[in-house]
A = this chain, B = another copy of it.
């Protein structure tokens, strides 16, 4: 494991010096190579599918694991999109000239060596490796053991293509951890001399285990317990549209709404209608005492019941949600900061001061005024691609695109300045 990490670090030094044109040429060659190798990739994946079925993976898990020609074409398309994005390295982030004439520039740089830990989906291999490569980072990929054959084949195809396109391409720029055992992860994440960052992607259990054992910095989000708060001054039609979108446009993703907060002042008017519409979409509502009362009790709707306190911490990722009546924006803010996951939260209101109280009070990566929580996404933010979403405070926060895969250095240009 140490040799793997050391060689990644050595490769990262070379990657940091590659020109944009060279990186893009490699990415385009990788895309073509993946397409050409479709049959081999699907064959390697077939072996994984067999293992996965023998392991007793659910049909949803097996579907995520499956690669077919369409999914391989999707990976190739992703690589071409990354090639078309601007190079995030070398941006001038700050510039100043000191009274002594020393010119200081803060310049974006690659981070170095990035470890990606993920679960079943083998297309993450190509996506993550390409984003890390474009930002000048070496990648160590640790996918699920059920996807090992697919991941190895995808990575080796990409590397072979890049070496052909660019003879100086460092072969350890993209590496798949070749052993399936679990002990590999703590060992890898103890190598602080070589590994600069770890980004786990997957369920909360996996991410907590990684964060618990890691000695290297981890950027992550555990879960998305997102809220919409409908204020007294909300436009009811807008609030209805945002609540329905945040809950049911795609309930299984991290930026979907899990809890609806309603201002007591508007609740009698707003609540019965929205509850009917949610029920019509087959959404189960778990309501606090006041909400339940306003709706006329648990029997008023087919899927209505009392919420437990624990429910307010839960990410359902499903057609289930919580409902709570609150006394204005300050209680909404307190509830979100206590029960939320610092991911994405929205207020619907026509009042600017109330909106400002919410936007500054809610301590989340993304906060919205009169918009759905579903917008927290690299593509929707105009980043072009996304490697993940962070709810952390140190390093990147919110959607992470290419720029969020960079660090920086200070460059001082003088004419002989010394300190006096």
Interface residues of A (CB under 8 A from B): 13, 16-17, 96, 98, 102, 104, 109, 111-112, 192, 196-197, 211-212, 215, 217, 219, 235, 238, 241-242, 244-246, 249, 337, 359-361, 363-372, 374-376, 380-382, 392-395, 397-399, 407-420
Q: Which residues of B contact A359 (CB under 8 A)?
A: 411
State the Cβ distance, A231 to closest chain B Cβ, in Å. 14
Does A238 contact B360, Cβ atoms closer than 8 Å? no
A13-B337, A196-B393, A363-B13 as given contacts; A98 in contact with B380, CB under 8 Å: yes
Complex CA–CA separation, A16 to B367 (angstroms): 15
Given known A368-B414, A419-B249, contact A397–B393 (CB-CB < 8 A): no
Partner of A418, one of B109, B241, B398: B241
Q: How far is the CB of A220 from chain B (nearest CB, A)?
A: 11
Q: Of B249, B415, B416, B418, which one neighbours A374 at CB under 8 angstroms? A: B418
| A393 touching B363 in the complex, CB below 8 Å, given contacts A375-B419, A380-B419, A398-B410 | no
A371 / chain B contacts, CB cutoff of 8 Å: 102, 412-414, 416-418
Pairs A–B under 8 Å by Cβ, sample size 22: A109-B363, A196-B393, A197-B393, A197-B394, A217-B217, A217-B392, A217-B394, A238-B416, A249-B418, A249-B420, A359-B411, A367-B409, A368-B413, A368-B414, A369-B411, A370-B417, A371-B413, A374-B419, A375-B417, A380-B419, A397-B410, A398-B409
Q: How far is the CA of A398 from the CA of B93 in the complex (A)?
A: 14
Main secondary structure of the interface of A (DSSP, over half): mixed
Docked pose: A399 CA to B409 CA in angstroms: 11
Contact among B197, B217, B245, B366 for A419, CB-based, below 8 A: B245
CB A348 to nearest CB in B, in angstroms, measures 8
> Are A412 and B104 interface neighbours, CB within 8 A?
no
Query: Which B residues are CB-close (under 8 A) to A109?
Result: 363
Contact between B417 and A372, CB atoms less than 8 A apart: yes
Known contacts: A102-B371, A196-B393, A375-B102. The answer to whether A363 contacts B417 by CB under 8 A is no
Knowing A197-B393, A407-B397, A419-B374 touch, does A369 contact B217 (C-beta < 8 A)? no
- Are the CB atoms of A414 and B17 closer together than 8 Å? no
Q: Nearest Cβ distance between residue A356 and chain B, in whole angstroms?
A: 10
A195 to chain B, nearest CB (A): 10
Copies of chain A in the complex: 2
Given contacts A104-B381, A366-B412, A371-B414, contact A394 B242 (CB under 8 A): no
Asked if A369 and B418 make an inter-chain contact with CB atoms under 8 angstroms apart, the answer reads no
**Contact A111/B411 with A235-B416, A372-B419 known, Cβ cut-off 8 Å:** no
Q: What residue of chain B has the Cβ atom nearest to residue A12's Cβ? A: B363
Report the minimal beta-carbon distance from A344 to chain B, rounded to whole angstroms.
Answer: 9
Given the interface contacts A359-B411, A375-B412, does A212 sit within 8 Å of B212 by beta carbon? no
Contact B382 A407 (CB under 8 A): no
Inter-chain CA distance A211–B193, complex, in Å, is 13
A412 touches B369 (CB 8 A): yes
Contacts A196-B394, A394-B197 given; indicate if A414 touches B369 (C-beta within 8 A). Answer: yes
Q: What separation, in Å, do the CA atoms of A375 and B98 have in the docked complex?
A: 11
Contact indicator A410/B381 (Cβ below 8 Å): yes
Closest chain B residue, CB of each to CB of A392: B217
CA gap between A408 and B111 in the complex, in Å = 19
